[in-house]
Each structure stands twice: as structure tokens, then as C-alpha cells.
């Protein structure tokens, strides 16, 4: 194999996740089982080699916890909104496909933003333009330009939150400048 | 069970009862949405999303009722896999649906993707007629 090896530090989040899944599936978090899980994780990561995920090099836990809670609250609110739309509007619901240009060009952040946007009911990622890192989002109940602007702002706010949690230093300072301006 | 823990138990029972009912309600929302929404894209919203919350609530209630710690990691992993896979499937179906024109343009207030797709199709030498024929041919 001629692909370049990645450092253990970069691979560590994947290995830790695999060990957690192993422990959870065996329902056994004893040291022996975890050690064997770690052995299998390393073996799997070596045999079934995937392109490395480029991490931003930082992770802010203090920002991640409120972000996760906000995400959960949004999922709850939006689920009831979709329930209301399904019952009240039904076939007459108006939606839109909105282009949302993102700030970051990192694959991880674009993917994470797309995932979170797609998990919140009422918005669905239809298409991703990787070269310009633009998400095309199908939003339900987007009746006019005002709603479209709100959807665009929501997605960009989600991305801003993710940059604050795990974006690179450069992305973070660019974001701070944008907010200050 | 001890009599002292009775009130704690009933609180847990009440919380899990509420969570289970709301979780089931979310599944109902998905079913109602599938039936009533007009096109594929809006139906995908109903089919994929409320179950993220519904599954969370049901798994949470299950964890409360099992009263053993080792069930929690399994439930969390199950939910995380749901979080990872739901957007991917929704995106793939939505993307395929958009490209095969399974949507009602009159129900879209704006469509900022259409011009981009047209342009990309034009660059590759496909015309819009080909797409229509392919759709009509099925």
C-alpha cells in the first residue's frame, strides 16, 4: 500500500469509538475485554484502512455541551412542528430548495453541519457542492424569501457553533472577526 | 423493592410512561406525514426525522425501566448509529428524488439548485429532454 500512514494521535478518536462500541455490544467494560477490544480496533483500522478524517486540532467541551442541548431542543421543537404541518397543512405545504454557502472548506465541518441540519426535522440536505462547500437544503414550510433567509441563517449558525467547538484556529479567528464586524 | 424507594420508582415510571407515549406519537407523526405530504421530499422529512426523537424517547424510557447500568451504553450506541445513518439515507433518497424530478415545482417557493443542475447537465452534454424522456419511459 502506498497510501500515507496517519499518526496514532489522528487515529485515536476512531480507535476509542471502536472500543466503546465493542464494550457496549458485549455489555462488559472490564479491563480485559477493553484491552481485547482495543487490539481488534487497531487490527480493523489497519486492515480496512479508510482515508483519515482531518481534525481541526482542537475540541471545546464547554461549547459542545450547550450545543448538544440546543440540538436536542431543536429536534424536539421541529418534530412537533412537522407533526403540526402534517396534520394541519398536509398536501398544501409549501417548501423550498435553498442554497447555503458555508464558511468552512473542511470536509468534517461540512459533513457535520449537513448531518445536524438533516437531523433537525424540516430541513433535508439535497445536494452538496464540495468545491464551493455549498449545501442545498430542502426546507419544509418555507413560503417566502423571509423564511428562506431564516433557514439560511439557522444553518450558518449551526456551522458557527461547530467551528467554535472543533474548527481550526484560522476558521475560528475568521469567525470572530466576522462576528465583531 | 423497598417501600422507601416507592416514590422514586413511581417518578421513574411516570417519566418513562410520558416518554413512551410521546415517542409513539412521533411514529404517528411520521405515518400521518407520509400519508398527507404532497411529494417525495416532504415525505422524506416525515419518514426520517421524527423517529430520531421518537427513538430517543423510547430508548430513554427503556433505559429507565431496565434499572441496570450496562444497558445504557448499548442504547447510546444504538441512538448514535441512528444519528449517523438517518441523514445519509435521507440525503441519498432526496438527491435521487430531485434528479429524477419526483417533486412538484409549483409547491416550491424558491429552487436555487435547479439552475446549478441545469448548468452542470449542459456542460456534460445532456439536455433536459433526455431527463424527461427517461422519466416518462418508466
pLDDT digits (tens, 9 = 90+) for A92-127: 888 888 888 888 888 888 888 988 988 888 888 888
From A27-31, A69-73, B55-59, B132-136, the region with the lowest mean pLDDT: B132-136
Our CA-based measurement puts residue A146 at a distance from the nearest CA of chain B, in whole angstroms, of: 11
Containing domain of residue A77, as a range?
61-180
For residue B69, what pLDDT is reported? Answer: 82
Q: Which residue, among A124, A133, A143, would best test binding to B if mutated, counting the most B CBs under 10 Å from its CB?
A: A124
Report whether A133 contacts A92 (CB < 8 A). Answer: no
For residue A3, what pLDDT is reported? Answer: 55
Average pLDDT along chain B: 79
Query: pLDDT tens digit string along B72-102?
Result: 888 999 999 988 888 888 888 888 888 887 7
Domain-located, residue A79: yes
Cβ contact, residue pair B25, A83, below 8 Å = yes
Percentages helix, strand, coil for chain A (3-state, rounded to 5) are 65, 10, 25
pLDDT at A86 over 90: no
For residue B18, what pLDDT is reported? Answer: 93
Q: How confident is the model at residue A14 (pLDDT cuts 50, 70, 90)?
A: confident
Least Cα distance to A90 among B106, B29, B49, B90 occurs for: B29
Least Cα distance to A96 among B106, B135, B36, B95 occurs for: B106
Distance separating alpha carbons of residues A49 and A37, to the nearest angstrom = 17
Distance separating alpha carbons of residues A148 and A144, to the nearest angstrom = 6
The residue of chain B nearest to residue A147, with distances taken between CA atoms, is B109
Distance of CA A139 to the CA centre of its chain: 18
Least Cα distance to A98 among A163, A147, A159 occurs for: A147
| Same domain assignment for residues A90 and A37 | no
| Same domain assignment for residues A69 and A101 | yes
For residue A2, what pLDDT is reported? Answer: 46
The residue of chain B nearest to residue A126, with distances taken between CA atoms, is B95
| Same domain assignment for residues A69 and A138 | yes
| Same domain assignment for residues A75 and A142 | yes
The mean per-residue pLDDT over the stretch B59-68 comes to: 89
Q: In chain B, what percentage of residues exceed pLDDT 90?
A: 17
The mean per-residue pLDDT over the stretch A54-74 comes to: 85
For residue A5, what pLDDT is reported? Answer: 62
| Same domain assignment for residues A161 and A109 | yes
Helix-then-strand count for chain B, H and E: 6, 1
Domain-located, residue A53: no
| Same domain assignment for residues A36 and A66 | no
Least Cα distance to B100 among B138, B73, B72, B69 occurs for: B138
For residue B124, what pLDDT is reported? Answer: 61
Our CA-based measurement puts residue B138 at a distance from the nearest CA of chain A, in whole angstroms, of: 23
pLDDT at B103 over 80: no
The mean per-residue pLDDT over the stretch A40-66 comes to: 82
Q: How confident is the model at residue A38 (pLDDT cuts 50, 70, 90)?
A: very high
For residue A62, what pLDDT is reported? Answer: 86
Cβ contact, residue pair B116, A136, below 8 Å = yes
Spatial CB neighbours of A88, under 8 Å, sequence gap ≥ 6? none
Q: Which residue has the higher pLDDT, A54 or B52?
A: B52
Q: Provide the ipTM.
A: 0.80
Distance separating alpha carbons of residues A46 and A24, to the nearest angstrom = 22
Q: How many CA atoms lie within 13 A of B135 on its CB side?
A: 13
The B108-111 sheet, strands edge to edge: A123-129, A134-140, A95-101, B108-111
Distance separating alpha carbons of residues A88 and B84, to the nearest angstrom = 30
Name chain A contacts of B25, Cβ cutoff 8 Å: 83
pLDDT at B130 over 60: no
Query: pLDDT tens digit string along A114-169?
Result: 889 888 888 888 888 888 888 888 888 888 888 888 888 888 888 898 888 888 88
| Same domain assignment for residues A79 and A116 | yes
| Same domain assignment for residues A67 and A31 | no
The mean per-residue pLDDT over the stretch A46-59 comes to: 77
Q: In chain A, what percentage of residues exceed pLDDT 90?
A: 13
| Same domain assignment for residues A107 and A156 | yes
| Same domain assignment for residues A100 and A26 | no
Least Cα distance to A123 among A109, A133, A134, A113 occurs for: A113
The full set of domain ranges for chain B reads: 6-102, 108-138
Q: How confident is the model at residue B129 (pLDDT cuts 50, 70, 90)?
A: very low
| Same domain assignment for residues A84 and A22 | no
Measured between alpha carbons, how far is residue B138 from residues A25, B118, B135 in Å? 44, 22, 6
DSSP string, A149-167: HHHHHHHHHHHHHHHHHH-
| Same domain assignment for residues A72 and A120 | yes
Amino acid at each position: 500500500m502506498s497510501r500515507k500512514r496517519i499518526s496514532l494521535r489522528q487515529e485515536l478518536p476512531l480507535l476509542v469509538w471502536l472500543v466503546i462500541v465493542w464494550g457496549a455490544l458485549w455489555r462488559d467494560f472490564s479491563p480485559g475485554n477493553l484491552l481485547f477490544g482495543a487490539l481488534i480496533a487497531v487490527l480493523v483500522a489497519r486492515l480496512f484502512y479508510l482515508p483519515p478524517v482531518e481534525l481541526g486540532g482542537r475540541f471545546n467541551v464547554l461549547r459542545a455541551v450547550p450545543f448538544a442541548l440546543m440540538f436536542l431542543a431543536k429536534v424536539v421543537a421541529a418534530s412537533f412542528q412537522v407533526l403540526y404541518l402534517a396534520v394541519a397543512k398536509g398536501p398544501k405545504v409549501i417548501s423550498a430548495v435553498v442554497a447555503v454557502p458555508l464558511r468552512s472548506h473542511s470536509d468534517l465541518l461540512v459533513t457535520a453541519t449537513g448531518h445536524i441540519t438533516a437531523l433537525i426535522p424540516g430541513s433535508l440536505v439535497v445536494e452538496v457542492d464540495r468545491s464551493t462547500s455549498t449545501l442545498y437544503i430542502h426546507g419544509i414550510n418555507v413560503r417566502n424569501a423571509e423564511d428562506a433567509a431564516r433557514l439560511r441563517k439557522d444553518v450558518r449558525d449551526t456551522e458557527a457553533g461547530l467551528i467554535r467547538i472543533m474548527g481550526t484556529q484560522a476558521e475560528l479567528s475568521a469567525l470572530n472577526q466576522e462576528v465583531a464586524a | 423493592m423497598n417501600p422507601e424507594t416507592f416514590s422514586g420508582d413511581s417518578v421513574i415510571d411516570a417519566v418513562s410512561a410520558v416518554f413512551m407515549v410521546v415517542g409513539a406519537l412521533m411514529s404517528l407523526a411520521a405515518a400521518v406525514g407520509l400519508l398527507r405530504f404532497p411529494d417525495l421530499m416532504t415525505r422524506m422529512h416525515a419518514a426520517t426525522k421524527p423517529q430520531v426523537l421518537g427513538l430517543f424517547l423510547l430508548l430513554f424510557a427503556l433505559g429507565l425501566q431496565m434499572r441496570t447500568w450496562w444497558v445504557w451504553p448499548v442504547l447510546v450506541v444504538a441512538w448514535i448509529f441512528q444519528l449517523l445513518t438517518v441523514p445519509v439515507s435521507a440525503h441519498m433518497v432526496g438527491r435521487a428524488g430531485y434528479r429524477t424530478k419526483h417533486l412538484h415545482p409549483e409547491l416550491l417557493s424558491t429552487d436555487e439548485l435547479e439552475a446549478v443542475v441545469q448548468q452542470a447537465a449542459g456542460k456534460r452534454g445532456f439536455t433536459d429532454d433526455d431527463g424527461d424522456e427517461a422519466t416518462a419511459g418508466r
